[in-house]
Amino acid sequence: EVQLVESGGGLVKPGGSLRLSCGASGFSFSNAWMSWVRQAPGKGLEWVGRIWSKSDGGIADYAAPVKGTFTISRDDSKNTLYLQMNSLKIEDTAVYYCTTYLNGYSEYWGQGTLVTVSP
Amino acid sequence: QSALTQPPSASGSPGQSVTISCTGTSSDIGFYNYVSWYQQHPGKAPKLIIYEVTKRPSGVPDRFSGSKSGNTASLTVSGLQAEDEADYHCSSYAGRKIIFGGGTKLTVL
């Protein structure tokens, strides 16, 4: 059974940093492309970014609003995906989901972790 | 790039069919056959119900179907059931990025 478990969310002040983790099991993590999707309270889904498998180059792409401040990385030895978030803004407040990624869709989703950016 | 356009709400009675539209541009929906749909119940994570425009993951009832014409994709839910009441989100690949719609709240009357 595929499982994705996010952790690391919490309350942070504007301008602060936070690192989210996503532990994966039940599939070949090292061969998987992975992504982060967020959802602000009461709003729709917003794609944050995606990272290729290392065998495909390990390249990460980002949505315009987070490019330059968020970094996606992976540790295949730990079956873990990361999202490093710097210079956080109030509008980054959201539930952050870790997902598998293939051909533009996210088949498996974690339960999400809430990030609240507030003074 | 702007979000895809979905109607904020849709509704239907049990047993009826309802179609939800998702409008993009010639740079996303109109160019790629990588449209997907997600169902989300309150407080839950989204669930993939349609991918690559028309395909259903294993376990998704065939009451859910997807299509595309030009820059607009559509999700049809046939034989509406009470448990279909949820938010539905569309998305499209747009060249090394993904764009989502604003979501549609489906109410089963």
pLDDT (tens digit, 9 = 90+) per residue, A59-108? 999 999 999 999 999 999 999 999 999 999 999 999 999 999 998 899 99
Of A61, A64, A105, the CB nearest to B36: A105
pLDDT tens digits for B32-68?
999 999 999 999 999 999 999 999 999 999 999 999 9
Report whether pLDDT(A50) > 90. Answer: yes
DSSP-assigned states of every residue in A37-48: EEE-TTS-EEEE
pLDDT tens digits for B60-103?
999 999 999 999 999 999 999 999 999 999 999 999 899 999 99
In contact, A80 and B29? CB cutoff 8 Å: no
In contact, B37 and B29? CB cutoff 8 Å: no
Residue-averaged pLDDT of chain B: 96
Whether residue B100 and residue A104 make contact (CB cut-off 8 A), yes or no, is no
Give, rounded to a whole angstrom, the gap between the first and last alpha carbons of chain A: 40
- Strand duo A113-117 + A10-12: pairing: parallel
Residues of B engaging A, defined by a Cβ cutoff of 8 Å: 1, 3, 32, 34-36, 38, 45-48, 51-52, 57, 89, 91-93, 96-103
Rounded Cα–Cα distance for residues A102 and A47 (Å)? 14
| Cα A6 to chain centroid, rounded | 8
Structure tokens at A49: 């970014």
Q: What is the mean pLDDT of residues B10-33?
A: 97
